[in-house]
A and B are shown apart, each in its own frame.
Chain A
Amino acid sequence: MKNAVGREIPDDILRALGKEPFQGNNYKNGVPFRRVAPIIHPVMDNQHSKLVKDIHEALVKCKAHSGMTVSFHHHFREGDLIVNMVMEEIHKMGLKNITLAATSLGKAHDPLVPMIEDGTITRIEASGVRGMIGRTISEGKLKGLAIMRSHGGRVRSLMTGETKVDIAFIGAPTSDDYGNLRGIGGKTNCGVLSYSHIDGDQAEYVVAITDCLVPFPNFPAHISMTKVDYVCVVDAIGIPEKIATGAAKPTTDQRKLMMAEYCTQVVVNTPYFKDGFSYQTGVGGASIASTISLTRIMEERGIKMGFGVGGLTKPMCDLLDRGMVRVLMDTQAFDLDTVSNVINPAHHRISAGAYANPFNKGAFVNKLDYVILASLEVDVHFNCNVVVGSDGVITGAQGGHPDTAQGAKCTIVICPLLQGRIPAICSEVTTVTTPGESVDVVVTDYGVAVNPNRHDLLEALRKADCVPLKTIEELRDIAYSITGEPDPVEFEDRVVGIIEARDGTIMDVVRQIKKCDPKE
C-alpha cells in the first residue's frame, strides 16, 4: 500500500508487524493508548546487595535467555565499550535470536558483525546504524528486520510495549552500590543519561555498568536506584577521547560558511526571530558556523534566545555563559565543553522522552521555533533521507531529525547541492526518513528553496531579499546539470529494514542491496 509520502509499503510487512502505513504527521494526535507497565522485581530485604562481580553474573541473575531483547544507550558514541562487552558475554553463553535495541549503533560496534552472521543477533532496533553493521544489514545478513526509529519514536515504542526490553544495560560514568546513576563525576563522563530514562522506566531488569563506584548516595541521581536491579563494576565503560571530543574548530570551508550565512539570513528574516525565540542546531560545520553568525545578529539587535535544546555543542554553551540564552535543555553532550557545562544551573538535563516523544502530553520539540538540520538527500517533495546512503546502503541514523522537524515552526535543512558526484537535491530520496510536510526551508550552496506550503516564509524571505531564492526543482536541475542524472540504485525484493515514523506507522522500507562489484 502507498503511504502519505508515496512510498510502497508491502502488505506482508504491514501484516507481519501489525502496522499501518504513514498517514501524515498528526494522524495519531489525540488518539488515546494505554502505557504498558513493566514487571518489577522488588527489593525489600535490607541485606540484599545489588553488586554483581561481572557481566556474566548480571546476565544469569537477570535470567538472560535466547530470544530476549537487550537495550543500550549511545551517550558514549564512538567510544562505547558497553555494547560489545555485554554482547560478547551473551555470545559466549551461546544465546541466540537476540534483539539488540540500542538507541544508536556506530563504528565502535563493528565487532558485532560476526554475531549477526551466526544468528546471535537476529533483530536490531535503533535510531540507525553507522559502520559495518549497516552494510551487513543492507547485504541481507541480519535474519530479522532492522527497525530504525527516531529518538522520540523509540520512547514511544517502549511506552506502548511494541519494544519490550528484557534487560537494559545502562553505562554510567558514576554509580553507587545501589544504582544511583550520574553522567558525570567519573573517568568517562558523558554529561547526561537522557536516552536511558525510558529503559529505566520500562525494562524488566536494569543493570548499571560503571567504572567508577562512588559512595552512596550518588546524588542528585540522573537515573534513580528505584529503577536499577544490579550494579556491575568493570575496568572501563568507554574511551573518553572518543566519547566527547574537543569542540569542533569553526570551519574555514567557504562553501559551508556561505550556507551558514544563508541559514542565518533565513532565521533573522522570518517572523519567529524575536526576543525569547527557541532554537536547535546540529554538530556539522555549517550548523556551528550559523550559530556563531546568528549570535552576532542577536547581539546587534538585542535579541536573546528563550531556550536551546537537543544535542548540544560548545557554541550553544557559550550563549548560555554569555547570558544570550535563558536555559539549555540537554539530551546529549557532543563535546567536552558541553559535558563540563552541565554544572551550570541553567543547563538542564532532560530525558529523550521529554525532548521528543510524540506519545507524551507534549515534548520540547513542539515548542521549537527553529531547528537547523542536515540531510544526506532532499527530494523535490522536501522529503529528507538521513539513514540510507545514495548507494542504497544503511549508513546513518534518524536521531531527532523527524522529531524536531515536525515540532519546529521553521525547519531549515542545510545540504550542499552535491556530495562529491552525488546530487543531494534529487527527484526522489533513496529512503524517506523525514516527510516533506515537516521541512520548510532547504539551504544549499546554490540557493535557498522554501516549501511552497509555507507562503508566509516565502513572502518574508522575498521581501527581505536576503538570500538567492530558487525552487527545489531548480536546485535539483542545477545538480543534475553538473553530475548527470544518477541511475536508480538496484535492490533485491527482500525488505531488510523499516524506517518507522514517529508515531509507529511505516515511513519507508529499506531493501537488500543488489550485489554490485565496484570493479567491472
Chain B
Amino acid sequence: MDILKTAIAGTVESSDCLVTVEPGSGTIELDLDSSVMRQFGRQIRKVIFETLGRLDVSNVKITVVDKGALDCTIKARVECAVYRANEMKDNLPWGDVIV
C-alpha cells in the first residue's frame, strides 16, 4: 500500500501511542520516541515493521510517540493510520491482513 497523504492515529495518553504516517522517500523511515525505550524499544520497533510488512507498506515516513502502549495497541494504531492515509473507511480486510 502507498501512503497517499499524511494521517494520524492514537493519542499520547498513558498506555497509548500516537502514530503519524507521511509519504516516504522510497524506504521505511521510522522515528520512535518511547517512555519505555530501555525495556521495550526493540520490541516496539519489531511490531511496527511487522505491521507495515503485513500491510505491504514499504515507502513511508512513520513517527511513533509511545507512552507505554501494548503491542496490540501499537499494531492497531499503525493499521489505522495507514488506512486513513488511503482514505479507506469501509471494507477493511478484517481477518486478512488485519489479524
Residues of A in contact with B (beta carbons under 8 Å apart): 390-392, 420-422, 482-484, 486-487, 489-490, 516, 518-520
- Structural contact, A489 and B33, CB atoms closer than 8 A: no
Q: Which residues of A contact B69 (CB under 8 A)?
A: 421
- Structural contact, B35 and A392, CB atoms closer than 8 A: no
Choose from B39, B68, B70, B71 the contact partner of A489 (Cβ within 8 Å): B39
Given the interface contacts A420-B67, A421-B69, does A487 sit within 8 Å of B42 by beta carbon?
yes
Name the CB-closest residue of A to B32: A520
In the bound assembly, the distance between CA atoms of A518 and B64 in angstroms comes to: 12
0 or 1 for each of B6-23: is its CB under 8 Å from A? (1 = yes): 000000001100000000
- Structural contact, B39 and A519, CB atoms closer than 8 A: no
In the bound assembly, the distance between CA atoms of A483 and B68 in angstroms comes to: 9
Choose from A392, A482, A518 the contact partner of B33 (Cβ within 8 Å): A518
Given the interface contacts A420-B67, A421-B15, A422-B68, does A487 sit within 8 Å of B40 by beta carbon?
yes
In the bound assembly, the distance between CA atoms of A489 and B40 in angstroms comes to: 10
- Expressed in whole angstroms, the minimum distance between the Cβ of A390 and any Cβ of chain B is 6
Judge whether B1 is part of the interface by a CB distance below 8 angstroms: no
Name the CB-closest residue of A to B65: A519
- Structural contact, B38 and A391, CB atoms closer than 8 A: yes
In the bound assembly, the distance between CA atoms of A465 and B49 in angstroms comes to: 46
- Structural contact, A484 and B40, CB atoms closer than 8 A: yes
In the bound assembly, the distance between CA atoms of A392 and B37 in angstroms comes to: 12
Name the CB-closest residue of B to A483: B70
A-B contact pairs, 24 of them (CB 8 A): A391-B36, A391-B39, A392-B38, A420-B35, A420-B68, A421-B15, A421-B69, A422-B36, A422-B68, A483-B70, A484-B40, A484-B43, A484-B71, A486-B39, A487-B42, A489-B39, A516-B37, A518-B33, A518-B35, A518-B37, A519-B31, A519-B33, A520-B32, A520-B41
Q: Which residues of B contact A490 (CB under 8 A)?
A: 38
Judge whether B34 is part of the interface by a CB distance below 8 angstroms: yes
- Structural contact, A486 and B40, CB atoms closer than 8 A: yes
Chain B interface mostly: mixed
Interface size class of B (residues with CB under 8 A): 20 to 34
0 or 1 for each of B23-61: is its CB under 8 Å from A? (1 = yes): 000000001111111111111000000000000000000
In the bound assembly, the distance between CA atoms of A490 and B39 in angstroms comes to: 9
In the bound assembly, the distance between CA atoms of A518 and B68 in angstroms comes to: 13
In the bound assembly, the distance between CA atoms of A420 and B35 in angstroms comes to: 10
Q: Which residues of A contact B43 (CB under 8 A)?
A: 484, 487
Given the interface contacts A519-B31, A519-B33, A520-B32, does A421 sit within 8 Å of B40 by beta carbon?
yes
- Structural contact, A422 and B15, CB atoms closer than 8 A: no
Q: Which residues of B contact A516 (CB under 8 A)?
A: 37-38
Q: Which residues of A contact B33 (CB under 8 A)?
A: 518-519
- Expressed in whole angstroms, the minimum distance between the Cβ of A159 and any Cβ of chain B is 39
Q: Which residues of B contact A422 (CB under 8 A)?
A: 36, 39, 68
- Expressed in whole angstroms, the minimum distance between the Cβ of A483 and any Cβ of chain B is 6
Name the CB-closest residue of B to A485: B43
Pick from B34, B35, B38 the residue with the most CB of A within 10 Å: B38
Q: Which residues of B contact A390 (CB under 8 A)?
A: 39
In the bound assembly, the distance between CA atoms of A421 and B70 in angstroms comes to: 6
- Expressed in whole angstroms, the minimum distance between the Cβ of B24 and any Cβ of chain A is 18
In the bound assembly, the distance between CA atoms of A520 and B39 in angstroms comes to: 14
Name the CB-closest residue of B to A514: B38
* Apart from A420-B36, A420-B68, A421-B39: 14 A-B pairs, beta carbons within 8 A: A391-B38, A420-B14, A420-B15, A421-B15, A483-B40, A484-B40, A484-B43, A484-B71, A486-B40, A487-B38, A518-B35, A518-B37, A519-B32, A520-B37
- Expressed in whole angstroms, the minimum distance between the Cβ of B37 and any Cβ of chain A is 5
Name the CB-closest residue of A to B71: A484
In the bound assembly, the distance between CA atoms of A482 and B38 in angstroms comes to: 18
Name the CB-closest residue of B to A518: B37
Name the CB-closest residue of B to A390: B39
In the bound assembly, the distance between CA atoms of A422 and B69 in angstroms comes to: 10
Q: Which residues of B contact A392 (CB under 8 A)?
A: 38
Q: Which residues of B contact A489 (CB under 8 A)?
A: 38-39
Q: Which residues of B contact A486 (CB under 8 A)?
A: 36, 39-40
- Expressed in whole angstroms, the minimum distance between the Cβ of A452 and any Cβ of chain B is 28
- Structural contact, A518 and B34, CB atoms closer than 8 A: yes
- Expressed in whole angstroms, the minimum distance between the Cβ of A259 and any Cβ of chain B is 18
Name the CB-closest residue of B to A421: B68
Q: Which residues of A contact B38 (CB under 8 A)?
A: 391-392, 487, 489-490, 516
In the bound assembly, the distance between CA atoms of A486 and B44 in angstroms comes to: 11
